């Protein structure tokens, strides 16, 4: 029963976020479940939804019922408020990711994958060990490292900067300066 009450409160809060009135009491909601001949476990994302007729009006007796989720999706009208509520729910879900999931998500990097590239020093060291034999002064070396680590070229450039800050690539400093005519970090900023 506690799970059902939690679902009731979630539905009430989500309706408020979307600007939809919610005037059902918990007892009335239980009556709607009985009328639909479903149990609380059937009320789920892929089971039954509490839906308004034609997706119009408030959640109140006479204007809502439990229907299969596919029927509800076909009736749904997407409003600005529902898009905003969906974005909030996505942000909450991303915040709850574990550290491993965050690293896997961030590993995609680049224009398509996004990601924040926030990894720990230990993770940076572990990644560096996989590509430590690569001479990053050579043309195409970033692309090779990207293939080895399974990430984007852009992310390799960011990792190089972080590895430099950790002192892991100090050995390349002299060769880098010798290759550079003006003494700048060309190997960090070049596109290859």
SS3 per residue for 75-93: HCCCCHHHHHHHHHHHHHH
- Domain range list for the chain: 2-91, 99-189
> pLDDT tens, 14-60?
899 888 999 999 999 999 999 999 998 899 888 899 999 888 899 99
Neighbours of 151 (CB within 10 A): 22
For residue 117, pLDDT beyond 70: no
Give the rounded percent of residues in the chain with a pLDDT score beyond 70.
69
Instruction: Give the predicted TM-score (pTM) of the model.
Output: 0.42
Return the bridge partners of 64, or none. Answer: 52
Would you call 107 helix, strand, or coil by DSSP? coil
pLDDT digits (tens, 9 = 90+) for 128-160: 777 777 777 777 788 888 888 888 878 888 888
pLDDT, residue 192, reads 41
77 secondary structure, DSSP code: -
Whether 176 shows a pLDDT value over 60: the answer reads no
Of residues 188 and 85, the one with the higher pLDDT is 85
Triad 60, 21, 57: Cα angle to 5°: 65
Confidence of residue 94 (pLDDT cuts 50, 70, 90): low
- Please report how the helices 141-149 and 121-131 are oriented relative to each other, as an axis angle in degrees rounded to 10: 120
């Amino acid at each position: 029963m506690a799970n059902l009450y939690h679902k009731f409160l979630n539905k009430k809060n989500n309706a408020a976020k979307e600007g939809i009135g919610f005037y059902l009491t918990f007892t009335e909601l239980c009556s709607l479940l009985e009328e639909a001949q479903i149990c609380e476990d059937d009320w789920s994302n892929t089971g039954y939804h509490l839906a308004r007729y034609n997706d119009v009006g408030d959640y109140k007796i006479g204007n809502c019922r439990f229907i299969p989720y596919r029927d509800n999706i076909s009736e749904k009208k997407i409003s600005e408020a529902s898009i905003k509520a969906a974005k909030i729910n996505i942000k909450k879900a991303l915040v709850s990711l574990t550290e491993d999931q965050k690293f896997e998500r961030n590993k995609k990097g680049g224009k398509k994958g996004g990601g924040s590239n926030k990894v720990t020093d230990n993770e940076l060291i572990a990644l560096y060990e996989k590509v430590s034999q690569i001479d990053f002064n050579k043309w195409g070396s970033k692309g090779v490292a990207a293939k080895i680590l399974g990430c984007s070229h852009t992310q390799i450039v960011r990792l190089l900067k972080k590895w430099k800050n950790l002192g892991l690539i100090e050995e390349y400093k002299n060769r880098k300066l010798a290759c550079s005519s003006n003494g700048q970090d060309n190997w960090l900023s070049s596109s290859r």
